[in-house]
Each structure stands twice: as C-alpha cells, then as structure tokens.
C-alpha cells in the first residue's frame, strides 16, 4: 500500500514532513537584512551608551554594546545616518542584543529608503 504522505528524496530516503516547514531565519524574515557598521547612541533608562549597529533591516537590528538592557526594554537609538529609532529588545546575548523597531508605517518606509541608500553599493 502506498502512503502518499510519506516523501522520499532522490535516493529513496524518507524525508521528515516537518522538515519542509522548517525555514532558515533568512526565509522567515519579513524584511531584507544587511550587514552594516554604524556608531550609535543607545538611550535606556535616562542614560546614554555607545553601541555599534552590525546588522539592520526595516524591522529591527543587531547591536554590539557593553550594556545589554533587559528583554522587552524600550530603547532609543540615535545615528547620524538614520536619525532616531524607537525599538524594543527582543533578544539578549553577552555584549550584544537584537531589537525590533517600533515605527509607524510611514516612518518604516522612510527607514527603508535610507537603508537602501546605505546598503546599496555605488554603481
């Protein structure tokens, strides 16, 4: 009897059906991400700290810094290139953090335009 739910690869090995729904992080993301190296000021609880943006998209960013605010903390990032960005900490690692931007759609579109200019190599 043939089980149509069971899949095999080109060598006849069984493929786990759940493997088909597992996606790499890049495939799950809503926005295109890019590597970047920008100095930023991170503001958290009435204090300011130097940080470095290392990865960014319209939806969020990864930063390296000596201060890592608590998970869920609301922070402000200030950069000369991108202006002021409101964000929330969504992941913490030693000396780095990931944030999700909290931007109205219009500001998100403006950020997308600025990121295109920063991340697109000159022709």
Are 40 and 77 contacting, i.e. CB atoms less than 8 angstroms apart? yes
Give the tokens for residue 38: 């920008």
| pLDDT given at position 38 | 93
Residue 94, burial from CB neighbour count under 10 angstroms (0-12, 13-18, 19+): exposed
User: What's the CA gap between 33 and 99, in Å, rounded?
Assistant: 13
Global pTM reads 0.70
> pLDDT tens digits, the chain, 123 residues: what are they?
444 455 655 556 665 555 544 444 444 446 667 788 999 999 999 999 999 999 999 999 999 998 889 999 999 999 999 999 999 999 999 899 999 999 988 898 899 888 888 887 764
Tabulate helix, strand, coil % of the chain (nearest 5).
20, 45, 35
Please report the domains of the chain, with CATH numbers, ordered by start residue.
Answer: 31-119 (2.40.10.220)
């Amino acid at each position: 009897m043939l089980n149509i739910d069971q899949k095999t690869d080109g060598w006849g090995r069984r493929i786990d059906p759940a493997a088909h729904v597992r996606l790499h992080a890049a495939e799950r993301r809503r926005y295109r991400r890019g590597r970047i190296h920008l100095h930023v000021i991170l503001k958290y609880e009435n204090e300011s700290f130097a940080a470095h943006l290392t990865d960014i998209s319209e939806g969020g960013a990864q930063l390296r810094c000596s201060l890592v605010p608590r998970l869920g903390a609301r922070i402000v990032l200030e950069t000369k290139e991108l202006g002021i960005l409101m964000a929330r900490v969504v992941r913490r690692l030693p000396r780095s953090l990931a944030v999700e931007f909290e931007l109205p759609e219009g500001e998100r579109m403006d950020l997308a335009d600025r990121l295109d200019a920063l991340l697109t190599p000159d022709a």
